[in-house]
Structure 1
Amino acid sequence: MVTSQDPDPDLTGLGPRLPSPLHEAADERFARCGVRLLLKRDDLIHPELIGNKWRKLAPNLSAARGRTVVTFGGAYSNHLRATAAAGRLLGLRTVGVVRGQELADRPLNPSLARCAADGMRLSFVDRSTYRRKTDPRTLAKVLRDIGADAEDTYVVPEGGSNAAAVRGCRALGEELRGRADVVAVACGTGGTLAGLAAGLDPGQRVLGVPILKGGFLGGDVRDLQTAAFGGPRGEWWLDERFHFGGYARTTPELDAFAVDFEERHGLGVERLYVAKLLYGVTALAAEGAFPRGTTVAAVVTGAPFDA
């Protein structure tokens, strides 16, 4: 097994499929540009702790050492779903702090309902508080409000991105050493990109496709790499054109692309992250952004949500 940090034996007992498969996707849209497309199937690592969620959560769950795991996310957060599933599978208590106090009095959407069914306690906070959640005083108040005992609580940040997670994601890059010229990944909080870039060989580059609207991700990635490794690692760049207006935004154009890709390659395409990544990589190939002879590996970090 190629890995930079072996998870706790109890986590290994969950049976992750590592390294995840790497498949070639024959596609004439890439072939006519002289580009070879590979799919890094991180969505096949584990049926419930999918893709980068396994890589980011495993080191954090080991560090939690049985304590209650408190973490953060929006109403459709894949990270919350994965943390809740991990809690059920490992017998850990989990609390999800959800962005949007107004949601507290509404029926749970399918994603949050799955979290609750897996035993996660949900606590809704107003959006202003949520934006300040990394401030120590705000975090302390949030923990007090949910009745969390500081001695028995392990806090995982939004998206699971912290130094431990970044070091866990380094294994993704290690699995792709020598396999592609460019590795493309969809980015939320930047933790996967930060670790992936650190694990690759010199000369391999990472393309990050930000899914959240805004221009601050580059600084976040550099900060995460500094926290994890003491400084910047690897070669990477961001292209912010393909988020379709921000997280949870889709369009008929994007849906049509995803359906077409599914039919071409027999791959169920998760809409919020993976579809936007694949759309962006396909558009960049058509623009000639990749020199002829380039091999691009697109990381499939999630699967469609089955309620």
Structure 2
Amino acid sequence: TDFDAMTDLGKALRAKLQQHAEVVVPQIQFEKPSTDGTHKWLLGMDGSNAIETVFIPDKGRGTLCVSSQVGCALNCQFCSTATQGFNRNLSTAEIVGQVWVAARHLGNVPHLQRKLTNVVMMGMGEPLMNFDNVVRAMSVMRDDLGYGLASKRVTLSTAGMVPMIDRLSVESDVSLAVSLHAANDELRTELVPLNKKYPIAELMAACARYVQHSKKRDSVTFEYTMMRGVNDQPQHARELARLMRQFDNTVQSKDAGKVNLIPFNPFPGTRYERSADPDIRAFQKILLDAQVLTMVRRTRGDDIDAACGQLKGQVADRTRRQAEFRLHLQSQGVDDAAA
């Protein structure tokens, strides 16, 4: 953040930058390590708002879960972020700043061998509702003069903004993940209200177009949070298997649809419970028997509320800002039921 330290630049340019520019990075309000090696930061974005960023180490890789908004307007019923309401979109600099903070922090820890190898846009917010800033930020992450991450190592996760998926297929070639959570419209609309605007058939068609638009993309990951007695029964698995086979047939490629089963991570006030391990294994077996590539995500960071669906940050002035954002969404063709 000190221009004088940028000795690869000429003195005149450094002096000009010192006079006319500034580098502002997110401020760490607190950091919390997990017993499993996961690390969570609460990052201040302005005077009253903060977002959460999580680093998840694993064998041979280190993944950073990055936020795109302060809060979220989509109101998915099983997500802690939804309970916080919505305040605003993050700027490109604020999104990239999360990577800067994490990379700098991890590099400054003695005897630490892990490093940041992957970024997932799966933190607070719906990335495709902050399209321009998110796409620019992902470009910086992938640029050789930025963080040099390969496109396949940057993943964007969406609840299903169909028009923006089509736009993303043209403007970026990152990996795509979709928060599915149910394979029939009635249940998915209950869990993910956006489904009322963009039902499953439209969503799957957009995902197929995403894969078909570029030879660099060969699959989409479908995320499925496992909730006891809600979406974890054998009939739900069979519905999901049929949907994945239809997707493979549409794309004309085996394993074009990959399923990631995520045990539900509880948070205060939720009515949902995590599926029992035997039910998750039985669910996975039905999918595997149907030739659907299926993985069960290992829960990480739940002891520090850093697991999937648990991020909430600090969201101020959310009522007025969420009302304004709803008007913006309506101007984009997204009605209240989807927000």
TM range (shorter): under 0.3
**Relative contact order higher in (CA < 8 Å, ≥ 6 apart):** 1
Q: Hey, which of these two has a bigger chunk of helix by percent?
A: 1
Q: With structure 2 as the length reference, what TM-score do the two structures score?
A: 0.25
Q: With structure 1 as the length reference, what TM-score do the two structures score?
A: 0.27
Larger Cα Rg: Structure 1 or Structure 2? Answer: 2
